Amino acid sequence: MQVIVQPTSKDAVELVSYIIAERLRKKPHLVLGLATGRTMVPLYQRLVEMHKQENLDFSLAVTFNLDEYIGISSEHPGSYHYFMYNTFFRHINIDLRNTHIPNGMAKDIAKECKEYKEKIKDFGGIDLQLLSIGESGHIGFNEPLSSMFSRTREKALSPITIEQNKHLFPNPEEMPKRAITMGVGTILEANECIALVTGKHKSKILAESVEGPFTAMISATALQLHPNCIFVADEEAATDLKQKEYYRWIFENEPEWELFRQKMKK
């Protein structure tokens, strides 16, 4: 695992966008795992800009989203289908047949979870999984006490998650209490994970996630076990990190970051 600290949230977003673009240009058939939420909005906006201004090509890419609420349709403004289409998919040249989001309206949720997991395998697994972390430390909707070996499944949402997300619904009372989510084990099977974390409100949970002990109470700590995981944080989110000077040194000195250092200087 590596932790990269950037001066501002804009810089953090820029670096993650460069990493995604570099991976996509190397492998046009890239299988991307995607996340939702406020942290992702500026990242998707930047990728849209890169598509329009730099011809970043998504035409052969395949995507799988981490999660979706149970009990609301894909047309509902609070759904992740709606979020992804309006924030990202409709602005790039991706084939919508290659975009995959769990069906929260499925009659048989267990079957939907099983088929979603199998579909990821059909595409050879996820090459690059994009993540952020919730204020309870969850990745996807893997709330406290989620097993490290968990797979795509139905999950009850915690009161903290419901409180955080309900304002994103036109009527907060419509906020679902359950969701389909990739499991922690599913996420750890990705070839590479990148977690974007910004804002002072994430500083405590970021420190616990990357420098604290592994615990099922904070599912993001499982990323410590991933052989190819990068956390990219802004200075505000990095406030509570004990080793942030070392993390800065890594980005400034390690050869693998040379290409991206040059891009960030432009």
| Residue 72 phi, psi dihedral angles, 5° rounding | -125, 150
pLDDT at 261: 94
- Give the whole-angstrom CA distance, residue 44 versus residue 34: 10
- Give the whole-angstrom CA distance, residue 139 versus residue 143: 8
pLDDT at 193: 98
pLDDT at 214: 95
- Give the whole-angstrom CA distance, residue 42 versus residue 262: 22
pLDDT at 168: 85
pTM value surpassing 0.85: yes
pLDDT at 136: 87
Neighbours of 205 (CB within 10 A): 21
pLDDT at 196: 98
Low-confidence ranges of the chain (pLDDT < 70): none
Neighbours of 114 (CB within 10 A): 14
- Give the whole-angstrom CA distance, residue 21 versus residue 23: 5
DSSP the chain: -EEEEESSHHHHHHHHHHHHHHHHHH-TT-EEEE--STTHHHHHHHHHHHHHHH----TT-EEEESEEESSS-TTSTTSHHHHHHHHTGGGS---GGGEE---TT-S-HHHHHHHHHHHHHHTTS-SEEEE---TT--STT--TT--TT--SEEEEPPHHHHHHHGGGSSSGGG--SEEEE--HHHHHTSSEEEEEE-SGGGHHHHHHHHHS--BTTBGGGGGGG-TTEEEEEETTTTTT-TTHHHHHHHHHH-GGGHHHHHHHH-
Residue 196 token pair: 């974007």
Please give the distance of CA 44 from its chain centroid, rounded to a whole number. Answer: 11
> Domain 17-194+210-216 classified CATH 3.40.50.1360?
yes
pLDDT at 137: 93
